[in-house]
Every structure is written in C-alpha cells, then in structure tokens.
Amino acid sequence: MAEERTDLILDIKNLKVVYKTDMEVVEAVNNIDLKIGRGKTLGLVGETGAGKTTTALSILRLLPAVTGKVLEGEIHFDGQNLMEFDEHFMHAIRGNRISMVFQDPMTSLNPVLTVGDQIAEAISLHNDQLSKEEIDRKVEDTLSMVGILPKRKSDYPHQFSGGMKQRVIIAMALCCEPELLIADEPTTALDVTIQAQVLAMMRELRERLGMAMLMITHDLGIVAQTCDDVAVMYAGEIVEAGTVEDIFTGEHHHPYTVGLFNSIPNLDSRASRLKPIPGLVPDPTNLPKGCVFSPRCEHCTEICRQQRPETVTHGTHSLRCHLFAEKKEGGAAHE
C-alpha cells in the first residue's frame, strides 16, 4: 500500500459504495481492495446482489447520479486516481482506455441504428482525426475481428442473433484497443455453445490486444477457463482472493468459497448431491454486525457474530475469516 505499483493497471483501495434512497441506505460495496496486473484477467465471482456490477460502475464513475455514492476509497488506473478527475476526463477514458461489456446483448444495442453506425460512433468518439473512409475501414476490420462478415455492417441489431449481438458489443468495446475491459457477465444471456464461442473469442482477443480484463461472473467454470486471479465477493466484501490455483487447488478456503464450489455440478464426484449454501444473502440495508457470512456459516462461533474478521494474506492468497485469523494453519482443522 505504500507506493504505487507500476505493474498494476487497476488498483482499487478500500472502496466503499452505498445507494442512498429516501427510505434506506444500501451498503452495496464495503471497503474492498482489488488489484489487476497489466494484461492479467481478474475474475470477480459472487452471488446476485454481491455488489459486482456496482464495483464495475464505480471504476467507470457511472453510478446512478442521484442515489449512488462512493463514500471512501481510491481507484487507481494506470497510476492515476480516477476519483480525482472530472467528468470531462472520464469521457476520454470510457470506451477508449477502459471499456465495458454489459450483461444483456439483446438490449445493449440501439435498435434504430445499424451496427456499422454504432461501431463507427464508438470509433469516431475517440479518434476525431480519422476520415470517413478510415473509420469505415476500421468498422469493417473490427467486425471481421469478432468473426462477423464486414458487409453486415449495414444491418440493424434485430437482424442479428444473440451471440452475434454480443460479438458486435464486444467489437464496439474493443475498437479503441482499451487497456482494461470490464465484462459484466458477458455470456449469461447466451446459450451454452454460444457462450463457449464468445469466451474463446474474448480470450483470443485479449491475447492479441494484450489488455487486462475484469471478468464478472457467477460461473466458476468461466473463471477456471479465462482468469489469472480470482476475487470472491459476498455481501459487498471480498471474502477470498488469490490466483486461480489458490482458489481452485489451494488448501484453505473461506467457508463461502467452499459453499460455492459445493453448489455447482462436478464431473469428478457425479454421485454426490449438490449442496447449496443454506440461508439467504443478507439484506444489504441491514448487514450483520460481525462476519457478513456468519448467519449462513457452519463454522460460525461467537467471535464471528461479534467482530468483523480482518483480511489475512499469505503470499498471493488472502482470506477474510476468523478461522484463519491468527495463523493460516489454524483453520485447516475445520476443513
């Protein structure tokens, strides 16, 4: 935390975000830290309502103007704290150096503009020196990059299938060759075979463009296939983070992560039944006093209910649970 690390493209420190409405205050993100190395992909995993999208929108400073507020924290992008810049500066960042792909391809394209026009718009927005012909050529290049015939640029979104729409959206996000791509559940709305195609394409483009990625998902399979690092988010907190190896093959895990793995089908243990995590995600307007996972945790003890655990880091692996508070070995017995 002492000085800036130049190997990081994104460094989120102690970010706290709330939504303030007339009736209530939703504590959506609670003092999280996230780091993404240049060219690396971080998977952000968690149940619905964990605060994943909120984190993503905070990076682009696109939280709803009236209700969304960043209360604490810094977001360093390429060494600059984004929280200190004005809207004008952010216009130059968005879509140019940081792009975002949204969850639903069906509604993320403007129905009355051709896809070519929409890509051209995204290009010309950040390249005002380009001539019409150059932009046109770039539109065609961008379309072929995502495997769509360039001649389809004059088609409207409704003439494309869901998978192709998502390709177009990814094309728009990548046309200015951003250093960081935020993908918010980019394939949840697609069926499985198309999902695999789109993910393979994203991986390939990531290698080609050398960009970093924040892959938001609740699918651990996607994490295993695409990510270098993983952060597990629960009720606005990062409860466990580390490299893919740490999370998938490491010895010690946060009880919530264990629950996540138990609740997905596993080919190796086909016979054993899925074990969903009992209970519900806590109400973000009224979070538990101690550990946020304590109401659902089978290892819960008195201290868990009273005191919020600190994050304990060993090498690349960090955990936020009382089981691992003193020494990492302390928790092993419980596993």
Partner 1 sequence: MENTTNTAAAVDNSEFSFKRASQAKEIWRRFRKSKGALIGLILLLIIVGVLLFAPLFISYDAAIESDFANVLAKPSKEHIFGMDGYGHDIFARIIYGGRTSLTIALIATVTSCLFGSALGAIAGYFGGWVDSLIMRSLDIFMSVPDILFTMAVVVALGANAVNLIIALTLAYFSNYVRLVRSQVLTLSEQDYVEAARAGGSGNARIILKHIIPNAIGVIIVNVTLNVAKIIIYESTLSFLNLGMPPPQPEWGMMLSEAREFMRPAPHLLIFPAAAIVLCACSVNLVGDGLRDALDPHLKS
Ligand X SMILES: Nc1ncnc2c1ncn2[C@@H]1O[C@H](COP(=O)(O)OP(=O)(O)OP(=O)(O)O)[C@@H](O)[C@H]1O
Residue 262's CB is within 10 A of a number of other CB atoms, namely 15
Rounded CA-CA distance 169/157 in Å is: 10
Closest distance of CB 54 from Mg ion, Å: 8
Rounded CA-CA distance 320/237 in Å is: 9
The single residue among 32, 115, 172, 230 that binds partner 1, judged by CB under 8 A, is 172
Of partner 1, ligand SF4, Mg ion, none, which one sits near residue 247, judging by CB under 5 to 8 A according to partner kind?
none
The single residue among 14, 67, 306, 307 that binds ligand X, judged by CB under 6 A, is 67
105 binds ligand X (CB under 6 A): no
107 binds ligand X (CB under 6 A): no
User: Which residues touch 103 (CB under 8 Å, ≥6 apart)?
Assistant: 184, 185, 186, 188, 189
163 binds partner 1 (CB under 8 A): no
The three-class DSSP label of residue 190 is coil
Angle between helices 132-145 and 115-126 (to 10 degrees): 120
Closest distance of CB 236 from ligand SF4, Å: 14
User: Which residues touch 124 (CB under 8 Å, ≥6 apart)?
Assistant: 130, 135
Closest distance of CB 282 from ligand X, Å: 10
Of ligand SF4, Mg ion, partner 1, none, which one sits near residue 53, judging by CB under 5 to 8 A according to partner kind?
Mg ion
28 binds ligand X (CB under 6 A): yes
193 binds ligand X (CB under 6 A): no
Closest distance of CB 239 from partner 1, Å: 27
Q: What are the strands of the beta sheet with 229-234, ordered from one edge?
A: 98-101, 180-184, 212-217, 41-45, 229-234, 237-243, 317-320, 311-314
**Nearer to partner 1 (CB atom), residue 126 or residue 252:** 126
**Nearer to ligand X (CB atom), residue 49 or residue 290:** 49
Q: Which of 52, 39, 10 is nearest to 217 (CA)?
A: 52
54 binds Mg ion (CB under 5 A): no
Judge whether 216 and 10 are in contact, CB under 8 Å.
no
Burial class (CB in 10 A: 0-12, 13-18, 19+), 162: middle
**Nearer to partner 1 (CB atom), residue 97 or residue 299:** 97
Q: Give the binding site for partner 1 (CB under 8 A).
A: 60, 62, 66, 90-96, 99-100, 102, 104, 107-114, 121-122, 125-126, 156, 158, 169, 172-173
Please report, as ranges, the residues that interact with ligand X according to CB under 6 A.
19, 21, 26, 28, 46, 48-54, 64, 67, 218, 284
